[in-house]
Amino acid sequence: MKVFEVFARRESGGPMVHISSLKAPDIETAIILVKETFGRRGDVLEFWVVDRENIFSTKKFNIPAGPITDKSYRIGDYYRRNLELRNKLREQFGSKSI
Residue 46 sits at φ, ψ, to 5 deg, of: -155, 145
- pLDDT interval class at 83 (50, 70, 90): confident
Distance CA(61)–CA(40), nearest Å, equals 39
pLDDT surpassing 60 at residue 88: yes
Distance CA(36)–CA(18), nearest Å, equals 17
User: Could you give all domains of the chain from N- to C-terminal order, each with its CATH number?
Assistant: 2-93 (3.10.20.520)
Q: What is the pLDDT of residues 18-74, one digit of tens each?
A: 999 999 999 999 999 999 999 888 889 999 999 999 998 888 888 888 777 877 767
Indicate the pTM of the whole model: 0.62
- pLDDT interval class at 96 (50, 70, 90): low
User: Is residue 30 a contact partner of residue 24, using CB atoms and an 8 Å limit?
Assistant: yes
